[in-house]
Amino acid sequence: MYKQWLVLAYLENPADFPMASTCLQLSVTNHATAHTRNVSKHMRNAIGLMTSIVLVFTISCNKEPIEPFELSVADYNYSLAYSVLYNLTNEKLTITYRGDLENEKDSVLYSTLDLPKRQLKKISEINIDSLKTNYRNDCIDDGDVKSFTIKKDSLSKTVHLSNYYHPELSPLIEMINGIVPEKYQMNYDKDDLIQEMKNCEKYKNAD
């Protein structure tokens, strides 16, 4: 145990006690190193625990039952007189070509059961009653026109999007495009839709 007067004298003029300064530096360094090792160990343990928790929640969410639903997206090409129907359920995605010419038969282009469970669960939770039947950018006549039909809990509603980005429905197109081969992807540009909506709003406010 250091005498109190020695401690006070050292604090007033450390240069008079060179050996004490050296010992103190070594003591602090050793303590800091040991503390760093302990912190690193605790951090690794904490990260491991958090990772385990995330995995448990992810697995639990994936195992939760998805409420049955059926959603179809009709992507129209009026100039070529045909449409492509994307039919999505909680179990399967099917793409069907539908010709609008006389005697032209429908044909299945693609189907898959490999679907992202988390996105499916979000779709199943969409509140049909909260949706309007028509959303459009009033400044554009043609362009990106899609119709969504949602069936759930014996309810059904068809929603038309005309050059419009909808925060609940439009991401479904992104999900489908991320699943299907490129040649079957829908024509869709999120950034362009949002920008055109902003431009239209500015134009209307300018009047």
d(CA 128, CA 71): 11
| pLDDT digits 0-9 by tens, 85-138 | 999 999 999 999 887 667 778 899 999 999 999 999 999 999 999 999 999 999
Please check whether residue 145 is in contact with residue 160, taking contact to mean a CB–CB distance below 8 angstroms: yes
How far is Cα 116 from Cα 193, in angstroms, rounded to an integer? 25
**CA torsion, ordered 109, 112, 118, 119, to nearest 10 deg:** 10
Q: What is the C-alpha to C-alpha distance for residues 197 and 87, in angstroms, rounded to an integer? A: 27
Output the six-digit token pair for 165: 């980005």
Kindly state the helix (H) or strand (E) to which residue 21 belongs, with its residue range: helix 18-63
Tokens, residue 144: 């990106």
Across the chain, which has 207 residues, the per-10-residue mean pLDDT values are: 42 49 44 52 67 55 77 78 88 89 82 93 91 95 89 93 95 94 93 96 85
pLDDT confidence of residue 8 = 42
Task: State residue 116's pLDDT score.
Answer: 93
Domain spans of the chain, in order of start:
4-63, 70-206
Which string of b and e fits 159-185 if b means at least 16 CB within 10 Å?
bebbbbbbeebbebbebbeebbeeeee
Q: For residue 87, count CB atoms less than 10 angstroms from its CB and return exposed for 0-12, middle for 13-18, buried for 19 or more.
A: middle
